[in-house]
A = this chain, B = another copy of it.
Amino acid sequence: MPFSKHSAKQPARRGRPRSGGREAILAAAFELLVERGASRLTTREVATRAGVSEGSVFYHFTDRTGLLTAVIEDSLTALMEVSPSSQAQVAETLDALTSGIERFLDKALIVLIAAQSDAELRAGMAAFLLENDFGPHRGVEGIAGYLRAQQQAGLLRADIDPESVAMMLLGSLFLQVSMRQMVSEDYGGNLPGRSQVLASLMAMLTPAPQ
């Protein structure tokens, strides 16, 4: 698809052009989620940071929960387009594929965690994921698909289970990113990194020496 964004697909907008207030609010809320955590996010501060009044926040999102729901669903929707399973077809190495997933997780985890602060948000997100058939199984499928292709080309051991390997690989990425984000930036140093895991895995995926 050429002209990615600026394609003439959508009809010209009618009415008053968007002022960007809504987007500024969403961005500010996302920032605060990262910096302070969901419990410490107030509509007041979101408004201040977005450079709008608090009334605007409620105009656009009805209530605080509506705002957070929008942040979560917007982020996930944006991520769905760069989802691992859609990458898998183009990535030419496991290295490229997994580094893409790592970046993906970095953003997805923010909202996944934010949703955990409130049972209502959590349920809403679960429903959203279900409706859109979105979730880590897509990542597993993506990786497994790649592995299976390599396998059929005779480049990998024939007797391995692509799904299980994909689950372990995705899991190691998820654990690494989670710890960096949930504990501290440099906490990952304690754990085997992506390249080490990948190198070891590659060795295991090719036939072992007798």
Contact = CB atoms under 8 A, between A and B. Distances in A.
Contacts of A200: 160-161, 164-165
Interface string A67-86: 00000000000000000000
B210 A207 contact: yes
A201 interface: yes
A52 interface: no
Interface string A113-141: 10111110110011001100001110010
Given A164-B196, A172-B167, A117 B37 contact: yes
A132 B186 CA distance: 17
B197 A164 contact: yes
A178 to B, nearest CB: 7
A160 B203 contact: yes
A184 B126 contact: yes
Contacts of A184: 126, 130
B203 A119 contact: no
20 contacts: A36-B119, A37-B117, A39-B117, A113-B116, A116-B182, A117-B117, A126-B183, A135-B179, A135-B183, A136-B190, A140-B192, A157-B204, A161-B192, A163-B196, A164-B201, A168-B168, A169-B171, A170-B171, A171-B174, A210-B210
